Structure 1
Amino acid sequence: MLEKLERELMLLSRHQVLARRERDPERLERSAYLLLSRIDTQGPMSIGQLAEAFGLDTSTVNRQTAALLRCGLAERVADPDGGMARKLCITAEGGRRLAEDREVNRSCLARVVADWSPEQVKELEDVLIRLNRSAEALEGRYWPRTEEDDTRAAGHPSVPHESPTPAPQTPATPAP
């Protein structure tokens, strides 16, 4: 029963990878895009918080965030909430590059769904939101969404931004 779904999700991820290979060298690496997107949505985060959010080993996230710092895409700041750990926030350059990448991604998506009706695009969005939220619930790690109020109004259940109990640590992987 899940054969077609698994195949289509594999193909979807394949298309994203191929699009990134052919892109402008100024485009962000996948891990940089994901880390900056999370910080952009949630606000300044420590390496530990990022590691927990992605279910990665702290050393993996430390290497990835070091690359962001070297490229000037993020900077360390004092915890805005007064905590002891330094947090990472996006620099103006990081924000500019993230916005550019998002625009390129949206432009590519617009070409893919150019002959779809607005209702079909909305239906795909709703199904993907449901799929992602189900996966997040199983992992116990939720991706904060800026559209929480809109999705609640559309009948999607509200989900917490943080897991009530920490998810088990997984071994390090190459990218979030």
Structure 2
Amino acid sequence: MLPITADLEHELLTLVRRNSRIRTGRDGGAELERSSYAILCLLADEGPQRIGRIAQAFDLDPSTVTRQVQTVARLGMVQRAQDSTDRRATILDLTPLGRRTVEEVRESRQEVLGDLIDTWTESDRETFLRLLSRFNRDVADWAQRST
């Protein structure tokens, strides 16, 4: 194991903890739980999904995702529809409120991120984005090989 991996693991854990401090609500608006925000973003980015697919995307049990989906459904942010390819299955999609919420929360989070890297040089910002994107692709590739 490379000596730097201990520092990298520590920094990744710190990032995960601090990421939750980047508000998912807007100017005193209702806060979204991290899991709710993640589900809404998945639906916004990848379109309508079955519960099982959402569970797979987050490496969670479908029963856990079902409870999380119930939360955003009660808030009126997702709607259920019958899967046209399998009438026993349910497809989840964003409602207009859910889509608007994702857009507003993303805008708010991007403002915070912009403030955090405002003093960085353009080169540092581009390097960070390039390496973070590469890391995320490598994690996805590793996860695919591991299943």
| TM-score, structure 2 as length reference | 0.86
- The residue number in structure 2 matching 1:121 is 125
- The residue number in structure 1 matching 2:78 is 74
- The residue number in structure 2 matching 1:87 is 91
Q: Percent identity?
A: 32
Task: Output the amino acid matched with 1:63.
Answer: R
User: How do residues 8-157 of structure 1 correspond to structure 2 at under 5 angstroms?
Assistant: 8-20=11-23, 24-79=28-83, 82-84=85-87, 85-140=89-144
Give the number of the structure whose residues are more often helix, by fraction: 2
Residues of 2 paired with 1:83 and 1:123: CA distance? 45
Residues of 2 paired with 1:27 and 1:98: CA distance? 12
Residues of 2 paired with 1:135 and 1:56: CA distance? 17
Q: Is the CA contact 2:25–2:32 (under 8 Å) kept in the aligned structure 1? A: no
Q: Is the CA contact 2:24–2:31 (under 8 Å) kept in the aligned structure 1? A: no
Residues of 1 paired with 2:124 and 2:86: CA distance? 45
SS in 1 for 2:22: helix
Residue 17 of structure 1, CA deviation? 2.2
Change (3 A) 1:78 1:118: farther
Residues of 2 paired with 1:3 and 1:66: CA distance? 38
Change (3 A) 1:22 1:38: closer
Give the number of the structure whose residues are more often strand, by fraction: 2
Uncovered stretches (5+) of structure 1, i.e. residues with no partner: 141-162, 168-176
RMSD over equivalenced CA pairs, Å: 2.1
Uncovered stretches (5+) of structure 2, i.e. residues with no partner: none
| TM-score, structure 1 as length reference | 0.73
